[in-house]
Chains A and B, each alone.
Chain A
């Protein structure tokens, strides 16, 4: 049976894979890759250097059936493949209180990925847990924030892939040559100009969450170039973590797979080299940023039950910054649950460096392998939660039925100590 209105040119090796020469798992994955290539108009396939698999979070039996079928057919990943968050915290099993199906099927889904040869990274920020593809290399990454980061901050090339295609790419080592793998598709068709805004506004992490909302709303799935923003990717992680937060929020509020920050990200040393002809130009104001910030808070109450950081997963640099903000100050208030989601890799390194214990000794709790907005971690009585993460603030009200307050890292710590929301409006003037 044929599908699509054009044919995809395969190499002799790829045709053999499709015909079953390398076994039924590779043949099935090849049918999926070729099916997508036909539907989206790709003329050929290209080889990839790595993959990041997003199908680790349990959404129902279909995902489990597919992954276990690949295992049963003898499937193995051909390239380095890291895993996204799962539905369980395997290191702290008591933290997640899901129902029996979620716990048992969630575990089987994670086990099936390991059986396929994936690495047990269990992180939505694999790029800060030892998986950093080289500039210009082709990869197949799923998980929207990781796609935005690998394209924008590292300059590697991935189209916006979803569950199933990520594993199919990992097993075949191929993706359709389409979308963001092409030079032309990486040019900015939209320019967002922030140069008239006082740069003081951008000195707080929460401002970058607000920038993510603006970027997502204005760009949708288009590639945008942002001018007039500060940053230096060799500043010890500050800029990298800001772009991580902004990209994650933009991929939630819109469908951003690639953005450029002129003078900061690797493909945009100047606007001229990255802008497409006839790009749309928008001048942004401080009011735009403030309104975007406000859209990430669903309550103006100062009541607070919990604080959640680490969406995407906290980095070692963020643990260091947090330990500096905490310093020798008072412990978190007893009634506040303070969670940080991170990878097991970052947790181990932060412990070694002494940053982790500063947080734990003040009454904080660390969640690994999963995240507080995708699986039941928060206490059932929790209503109001503060976060510095735009992505968490975007999804948690719908997923968890709670109210959110967006704040900076220092505001989150001050609020956790006070037992109520403490904000410093002068940061946003």
Chain B
């Protein structure tokens, strides 16, 4: 039994916040409107991770997808506590950032959204435990795995 060394990945803060939890890795983007129900379950029948639940998970997916009403659906999930703890993407989705900004404004809940480069993104795997720190003076987010 060796000592497990922590690896620290660096990315860009798209929305500030901190989180600590298990990764739900999606192999394709999901649309929050029409693709995720009010309990945080993926209901898009065409999606590879259909029926997966994002509640209290660090949601990792390549990008956002679909309707502009995804902002409102994400904000509602954050309000009810059925949403993810953090979102990590390769390509930042403005629509999801808006949902996080509004939730911070009206509920004081700050969902971290982090953008990673491919090499860092590839080190994340489903079920892994991570700590997300997207509050920094240097606008650099860290993900400790």
Question: Chain A: residues with CB nearer than 8 A to chain B?
Answer: 1-5, 28, 31-32, 35-36, 39-40, 54-55, 57, 59-63, 65-66, 69, 142-144, 147, 160-165, 255, 395, 398-399
Are A31 and B69 in contact, CB atoms less than 8 angstroms apart? no
Which one of A1, A40, A69, A164 lies within 8 Å of B99 (CB-CB)? A164
Distance from A24 Cβ to chain B, minimum over Cβ atoms (Å):
11
B52 partner residues in chain A, CB cutoff 8 A: none
Are B102 and A32 in contact, CB atoms less than 8 angstroms apart? yes
B102 partner residues in chain A, CB cutoff 8 A: 32, 62, 66, 164
Q: List 7 A-B contacts (CB under 8 A).
A: A1-B135, A3-B16, A60-B72, A65-B106, A66-B105, A162-B94, A163-B71
Contacts A4-B13, A66-B106 known; list 10 others, CB within 8 Å: A5-B139, A59-B72, A60-B72, A60-B75, A63-B76, A69-B105, A144-B68, A161-B68, A165-B94, A165-B98
Are B69 and A4 in contact, CB atoms less than 8 angstroms apart? no
4 tightest CB-CB pairs across the interface, nearest first?
A: A60-B76, A162-B68, A62-B75, A162-B71
B68 partner residues in chain A, CB cutoff 8 A: 54, 142-144, 147, 160-163
Which one of B94, B101, B103, B113 lies within 8 Å of A31 (CB-CB)? B101
Distance from A350 Cβ to chain B, minimum over Cβ atoms (Å):
29
Which one of B13, B38, B73, B94 lies within 8 Å of A40 (CB-CB)? B94
Find residues 12-31 in chain B having any chain A CB closer than 8 Å to their own CB.
12-16
Kindly state whether residue B95 has any CB partner on chain A within 8 Å. yes
Nearest neighbor of B75 in chain A, beta-carbon distance = A62
Find residues 61-81 in chain B having any chain A CB closer than 8 Å to their own CB.
65-73, 75-76, 78-80
A62 and B106 in contact, given A36-B98, A40-B94 (Cβ under 8 angstroms): yes
Nearest neighbor of A33 in chain B, beta-carbon distance = B101
Are B101 and A36 in contact, CB atoms less than 8 angstroms apart? yes
Distance from B75 Cβ to chain A, minimum over Cβ atoms (Å):
4
B67 partner residues in chain A, CB cutoff 8 A: 144, 162
Query: Complex formed: what's the CA distance from A147 to B73 in Å?
Result: 20
Kindly state whether residue B137 has any CB partner on chain A within 8 Å. yes
Distance from B141 Cβ to chain A, minimum over Cβ atoms (Å):
9
Chain B: interface residue count, which band?
Answer: 35 or more
Are A28 and B105 in contact, CB atoms less than 8 angstroms apart? yes
Kindly state whether residue B86 has any CB partner on chain A within 8 Å. no
Query: Complex formed: what's the CA distance from A142 to B94 in Å?
Result: 13
B99 partner residues in chain A, CB cutoff 8 A: 164
A54 partner residues in chain B, CB cutoff 8 A: 68-69
B92 partner residues in chain A, CB cutoff 8 A: 39-40
A399 partner residues in chain B, CB cutoff 8 A: 34
Which one of B33, B79, B101 lies within 8 Å of A61 (CB-CB)? B79
A143 partner residues in chain B, CB cutoff 8 A: 68
A142 partner residues in chain B, CB cutoff 8 A: 68
Are A62 and B103 in contact, CB atoms less than 8 angstroms apart? yes
Query: Complex formed: what's the CA distance from A1 to B17 in Å?
Result: 10
Are B15 and A35 in contact, CB atoms less than 8 angstroms apart? yes
Nearest neighbor of B110 in chain A, beta-carbon distance = A1
A28 partner residues in chain B, CB cutoff 8 A: 105
Distance from B107 Cβ to chain A, minimum over Cβ atoms (Å):
8
Nearest neighbor of A68 in chain B, beta-carbon distance = B106
Distance from B81 Cβ to chain A, minimum over Cβ atoms (Å):
12
A3 partner residues in chain B, CB cutoff 8 A: 13-16, 134, 139
Kindly state whether residue B97 has any CB partner on chain A within 8 Å. yes
The winner among B34, B38, B71 for most chain A CB atoms within 10 A is B71
Are B106 and A59 in contact, CB atoms less than 8 angstroms apart? no
B135 partner residues in chain A, CB cutoff 8 A: 1
Query: Complex formed: what's the CA distance from A32 to B103 in Å?
Result: 11
Query: Complex formed: what's the CA distance from A162 to B95 in Å?
Result: 6
Nearest neighbor of B45 in chain A, beta-carbon distance = A398
A39 partner residues in chain B, CB cutoff 8 A: 14-15, 92, 94, 97, 113
Are B70 and A35 in contact, CB atoms less than 8 angstroms apart? no
Are B69 and A59 in contact, CB atoms less than 8 angstroms apart? yes
Query: Complex formed: what's the CA distance from A2 to B140 in Å?
Result: 10
Are A59 and B13 in contact, CB atoms less than 8 angstroms apart? no
A162 and B78 in contact, given A3-B139, A35-B15, A35-B97 (Cβ under 8 angstroms): no
Which one of A5, A32, A60, A255 lies within 8 Å of B73 (CB-CB)? A60
